[in-house]
Chain A
Amino acid sequence: MKQQELIRLVLVALVFGLLALLPLIPANDRLMALAVPIAMYAVLATSWSLFSGPTHYISLATAAFYGVGAYTLANGLEVFSYPLLLLMAALLGGGLAALVGMTTLRLSGVYFVIFTLGLAELIRQLVTWYQNNFTGSRGSYVFTDITEAQIYWQLLGLLALVFLLGWLINRSRLGFAIRIIGNDELVARHSGINTARTKVLLFILSGAFAAVVGAVMAPRFVYVEPSMAFSPQLSFMVVVMALLGGVHRLWGPLLGVVPFAIVWELIAANFPGQTVLFMGLAFLVVVYFIPQGVAGVLEQQLHKIRQRRGG
């Protein structure tokens, strides 16, 4: 078992190493235009499922955290250094998640969904109002010398970090606790787990990651304004990608992110009006045909093959 884990670790490291070489391919503009969003969604979807996977709480707050991160970078760029800003984004995102979590996670799942559904819009309205009345400008420019390749490498690094954390959590008491909560919250409470605290902790983690992703992506926008930074569509994209891939495994969301992002780009390029319809159909497909995601389907097939071999 130990050896198997070591082999797996080496394999994962190898894959990350190969992926990191991607920007070195010459004349790679179109490739990078696809690779950066995929890397971004990979981080968002995987960190989303750290919390929402085991608990089944559907969080639609990703856009809110992402926007907070983007704004942190855009507004602080002239005052603070870049690494410090990423840290601040993580703290602000985590702080917002803590507030939201402490308000809603004591209650049942529906309240949480509804609250997060409007959260991005709420913050967008507040930021717009503040900018209209106090700063006078609608957005702010982000001028940096950060290249597309550097954004990609940062996202890849974040993805590795999410995987590492997810793996550690799964082996820890925290991971065990959150799985029990997901199975039966009442049982969890009776076995002495502080359910609210456990949920809030994991939610903070996923919120912090989304905020850092927002900060990392901000230089790519050049101009950061509320309706773009807090676009509610982002939250739904993350949810459908993660569920499509399968949230019961750490690597599951990846299987959803890559195909979905590619198809999405194709549709957005050829039929720009139909992306909403496509997203709706994807949701329905996930719910009705592959509730366990691609990962679940894969595991089932593997299991069958193994059984046939064994028998």
Chain B
Amino acid sequence: MVILLTGLFLGGIYALIAMGLSLQYGVARIMNLASGEMLVAGAFAGFWVYTAFSVSPYVALFFVVPLAFAFNWLIYNWLLLPLVRRAKNRGQLEVDSILATFGMSFVLVGVMLMAFGGSYFSYSWLARPIELLGSNYSQNRVLAFAVAAVICGGLYLLINRTRLGLSIRAVAVDPRAAGLVAIDVKKVAALTFALGGAVAAAGGTLLSTFLTFDASIGVVFTIKALVIVIMGGVGDIRGAIVAALALGLAETLVATLLDPGLTLAAAYLLFILILLFRPQGLFGRSAL
């Protein structure tokens, strides 16, 4: 039971991060490998707000989200759009964007190393126990999960119930056809990319309340988010949420029963199984 709930709490945050990436890849067609660094930047913001002003790190969300949104919008328009224009086919765009976002991720790590140094950061906030179903959990984890769930729910509504969401889904299905029905594909892609970055940064702020982090930890979360996105099926939000919860559970299981050093191995085991048996994702329909 403890494992189940702890895994669930962790999985909720993973779901948030993976949704950001899924939006960016599914709609803007950019496999953003710098996503983990956005997350770390969000984590630093939470750390900074708490240690400098001793207010709730969640205050950071109020500026992290708009700033990350603006930053990712600029990245898309300045750095990634030229690649989209240059690419002759989707394969070339994939290779180019992978290399470019690797570059960005290293640059961001370098900048954060310069600004904060290479040491580990953590702070203790709301580290009080709360009793749920007979066992104790720390309040910061539970709260982070609740906030992540709210944001995930908001995103789900945005995409499935609004006009903007409809155009986002249209671009995800077929950018050319979306252009034919008077959707400004470039604008939607840029907005979605920015939204994805903002979601990742928000996830970082949430994570910082209970996790020790350092400037170069981003890639770990990038890998996890990628595994989740592929497990869930690209662009499939429902699949991403299920996959994230599964991953959170699997990691917690392995960490408590086997060894905390094997969490990535657990993620990879799931990944391999999915690649071998359902490469189109858990709920995917068409073959790749």
**B84 in contact (CB, < 8 A):** no
* Contact sample, A vs B, 27 pairs, CB 8 Å cutoff: A107-B275, A109-B94, A110-B31, A111-B230, A113-B31, A114-B226, A115-B271, A117-B223, A117-B226, A118-B264, A121-B223, A121-B264, A122-B265, A125-B262, A232-B219, A274-B114, A276-B106, A276-B216, A277-B107, A280-B103, A280-B106, A280-B110, A283-B99, A283-B100, A284-B107, A287-B100, A288-B100
CB-defined contacts of B108 to chain A, threshold 8 Å = 280
The 0/1 profile, CB within 8 Å of A marked 1, for residues 172-202 of chain B is 0000000000000000000000000000000
The 0/1 profile, CB within 8 Å of B marked 1, for residues 88-132 of chain A is 000000000000000110111111011101100110011011001
Place the interface of chain B in its size category. Answer: 35 or more
Contact B275 A111 (CB under 8 A): yes
Q: A286 to nearest B CB, angstroms? A: 7
The 0/1 profile, CB within 8 Å of A marked 1, for residues 78-104 of chain B is 010011000000011011101110111
**A258 to B269, alpha carbons, bound, how many Å?**
38
Contact A283 B95 (CB under 8 A): no
A129 in complex: contacting residue of B31, B83, B227, B261, CB < 8 Å: B261
A-B contacts besides A56-B91, A132-B261, A287-B83, 11 pairs, CB < 8 Å? A56-B92, A107-B275, A113-B98, A118-B268, A121-B223, A121-B264, A122-B268, A236-B102, A277-B113, A284-B103, A284-B104
Interface residues of A in 26-40 (CB under 8 A from B): none
Contact A273 B113 (CB under 8 A): yes
B114 in complex: contacting residue of A122, A243, A273, CB < 8 Å: A273
**B276 in contact (CB, < 8 A):** yes
- Nearest CB in chain B to that of A279: its residue: B106
Q: How many positions in chain A have a CB within 8 Å of any CB in the partner chain?
A: 42
**A56 to B107, alpha carbons, bound, how many Å?**
23
Contact B95 A58 (CB under 8 A): yes
The 0/1 profile, CB within 8 Å of A marked 1, for residues 239-265 of chain B is 000000000000000000001011111
**A278 in contact (CB, < 8 A):** yes
A-B pair number, CB within 8 angstroms: 121
CB-defined contacts of A288 to chain B, threshold 8 Å = 79, 82, 100
Contact A110/B98 with A281-B103, A283-B103 known, Cβ cut-off 8 Å? yes
Contact A125/B265 with A58-B98, A277-B107, A287-B103 known, Cβ cut-off 8 Å? yes
Contact B96 A109 (CB under 8 A): no
Contact A126 B272 (CB under 8 A): no
**B208 in contact (CB, < 8 A):** no
B288 in complex: contacting residue of A108, A122, A280, CB < 8 Å: A108
Interface residues of A in 133-178 (CB under 8 A from B): 133
**A143 to B33, alpha carbons, bound, how many Å?**
40
Residues of B within 8 A of A (CB): 31, 33, 79, 82-83, 91-92, 94-96, 98-100, 102-111, 113-114, 118, 216, 219-220, 223, 226-227, 230, 259, 261-265, 267-268, 271-272, 275-276, 279, 288
Contact A125 B261 (CB under 8 A): yes
CB-defined contacts of B79 to chain A, threshold 8 Å = 288
Q: A241 to nearest B CB, angstroms? A: 13
**A274 to B174, alpha carbons, bound, how many Å?**
42
